[in-house]
Every structure is written in structure tokens, then in C-alpha cells.
Structure 1
Amino acid sequence: MHFRPVWIVIVLGSRISSAFAAVVPVPDVEKLTEQSTLIVVGELTSTQRDIRATTVDFNNRRINVRVQRGTFRIDQVVKGDHQPSSVTVEFAVPDTPLGWSVPPEHAYGLFFFKDTGGTLELIDVYHAWVPVPRGISVTADTPLERVVKTLGEAISIPDSSRDMKQIALWFLDFGKSDASTRALRAVITNADPIVGLNAARALIRRGDVSGLEVIKRAFLPGPQSLPNQLEETFQMQSRSVYAIPS
């Protein structure tokens, strides 16, 4: 029997921001959670623009930015002790587009904040927030588990847009925790086949074959089995390219 190899390429390390053609580093959910003072689900209800102009260090150079001040309504605290229903946060907007993820007014999502000298700021210029649908409420023992469950819910809820699901999936893809792996396993059967396939790909990338059947259905016409050696190949970690015969 002749096998024609179909190659699935898994790209690691960065993402290209389509809006600015900027190289964006991959998110680190564990680091974001650990370094954040306050993590909430809520809405940016209002923004005061151009509070002041200043310069900041970015990639070993000084750049000009405009500081904005946003008021966030808090629907759930994921990490931190915060009783009021709203919080004020400052964030910088560069004069030159650099691919920074700045939440627009009325954005609803999962937000990561840090306390800098008594002022709350967005924790990261690239990955400080993730859009999620309204109505999510999660419970878990640790902040990281609550963050991961929120991302998983954003993928599972039918009202989520594909873009919203893909962003949440991108954060889970590069998560290193067992909680991230469990969340990915839970969404491989997502109603959106593209989302399910990408979740399966993320699992394969970390050496987990839970999503192998999803990949086989997508790339192999009809019911077929894989050679034993190839099935074992999918269980090998730290591989970036896999071949499926068809």
C-alpha cells in the first residue's frame, strides 16, 4: 500500500499581529498569573485618554507613549483581595503601533493587573487581557486553576465568537500546567471543528494523544488506522512536525 505523507506543521515561539505586522511573543499563563496583583473578569466601562505623555523602556530603547486611565467594573475576582465593584487602572498606548494589546472602551474580558507604587497597571503590553463572553463564573482552589477554567469556559460557551475562542485557545496552548492540559482535552470536541482541531494540535505538541482521533478524522479520508510506529511518534514530546500517511 502506498502512503502519501501529509505534514502538519506546528509553529512555535511567536505570533504575527495582523494589525501591525509585529512579532508578538507567546503568552505565559503561569507567569502572568503569578506576577499579577489582581486578576478579574469584568468590563472597561470608561477611558480617560491622554492623561499624560511620557517615555518608557521597550526592547532596549525609549519610546513615546500616552498614558490612559480606565475604570473597570469587576464581575469576578480571580486573584487578589478587592472588595469594591470597580477599579481604576493606568495603561500606556505607544505613539507608533507596536502590536500592544490595549483594551478598547467597553471591552469585556479577563484582565491581569499589577500594583506599581500604589497604582494598578496592566501586567503586560501584549497579554494583559483576554476577551471572554459575559456570564462566566468559575470556582477552583488556586488562581491559576481559576484563570485556566475561565479560558476553557470562553472556548466552550456557544455565544463565544471564533476569534474569542482562538485567543483563549492560544493562551492554553502554551500553558505548562496540568490544568491547561485538562482544559484542552475538554474542548477537542468543540462544536466549531477548527477550534477542536487546534485544541488537538496543542495536545499533540505537548505529547498528549487525546486529540489524535480528531486529527485523523480531519486529515484521513474515511476510517483508517495509523501504523504502530507513527502512533508512537505522536506521543513523543518536543517535536514540531508530524506526518500522517493518507
Structure 2
Amino acid sequence: MSVAVHLRVVSLAERPDLASAMLTMESTWPAYVRAEPLLINWAFERHPEHQLVVLDGEGDDERVIARAASVPFAWDGDVDSLPDTGWDEVLRQSMLDTYAGRELTAVCALEIAVVPGSQARNLSSRTLVALNDNARRFGFADLMAPVRPSNKHAEPETSITDYTARTRSDGLPADAWLRVHVREGGQIIKVCPVSMAIAGSLAQWRGWTGLPFDTDGPVAVPGALTLVEVSVKHDRAVYIEPNVWIRHRLTT
């Protein structure tokens, strides 16, 4: 597959040697957004054909400049059955469905990330197109995505429902990343209120953010889409990240 001149898209099934480079690629994800490594490693090993990397350069100059991770899962086509615990749950569901031998009927995008400084090349949109094309090539009719709105972090106290409902004068979503999905044919179908739950000690949160975390209650954290709840007494802080479920129909 090719997304632009001089750029190449390959899967880990084609290039298993790129797994480490894909995982360690620099990205703009906050340090506290941490997926369960055992599940990620399982997805890479069991479904490498759904893990994509965008390469720039050749030979010794070859480097990963974008990545797209996804997993197939058994979906009945009912929007209401998509889990409110989106990102966390669909990865677990993919594992359960795979081992149970269920028919895997849809693909769920887990992440699209671009190396900082490369966004001007429209790589996010091109990588999304490549992910859709890859799922279509394997015969899937739908690509689902619990999408992380790119500008929501600037308004952590705004509800995800109100934020998602905002549109521009042309009718497209006000949020830039949601807008990319809609332009590529995606349909916003519902809010995913508890897509990822991240808990840690106060020392962990201080290390991730550089903030003191010395007061009980909600704290605004750079990059977080909602406020982080802090309990000094229990030496714990919890972040619940909401996403937005988007459906890409891959057949016409």
C-alpha cells in the first residue's frame, strides 16, 4: 500500500521486524495513557496483519513516521452493543472472540499516531485511509473506532456529549480529529463515556505529569480530556477518558 510519494504502508505481518519501532515511535500521547502491555503484545502477535506502520525513506534511512493499531472482533451490528468502556473493553473482547472461535465481523481501530512534526503532511488522514483500506482488503464491512477528540483536552470540564455535538458552519464537527473521520466517511454514532480507565499512585502521577498532586479533588492535567480525581488519603488518582464511537462503513 502507498499513501503518498516516498511513503509506504506495511503491516507487521509483512514486516515483523518493525514491531519494536512501532511501539517506541515518538508520539504526542500523554505519558499516563498506558494500555495493558499483555493485551497489546497479544494483538501484535495474533493479529499482525491489522497493525500498520507508515515508513519514510529507504534502507538505512528508513524510519517509522506513523502507526495504526487495530483488532478484529465479533460485532452484531447493533450500535447499542458497542461497549461504553470502549478502548479497554474492545481489546479484551477481541481476545475472547478470537480464542472462542467466533466470527470476527468488524475491525476496531485502537490508535492512529503520527510522529510530532509530521502532521503537516496530512499523515493522520492518510493513515486512517490506509487502515480502512486494510480492513476492507480482509473482507470487513465496518471499521469502528473509539476516537479521542484532539482538542477536548483544552476543555476538560465540558461534557463529552456537549463537546461532540458542536459543529462548524459547514456542518462538520468542530473538533479537528472528529472532522477528519467524518470527511473520510465516518459517522459519529454515540459517546463512549468510559473508554479508558487509568489509576495510579500519586507518585506515579507526579512522574507522568510533573504536577504536585497534593490536594484532594479534581485536577486539570495537561492532555487529559476530563479532570483527574485525586485522593491524598488513599494515595490514588484516577482518570476516566471518554471517547466517541465512530463507524466507517467499508462497503457501499
TM bucket by the smaller chain? under 0.3
TM-score by length of 2: 0.27
Q: Which has the larger radius of gyration?
A: 1
Higher strand proportion, which one?
1
Higher helix proportion, which one?
2
TM-score by length of 1: 0.28
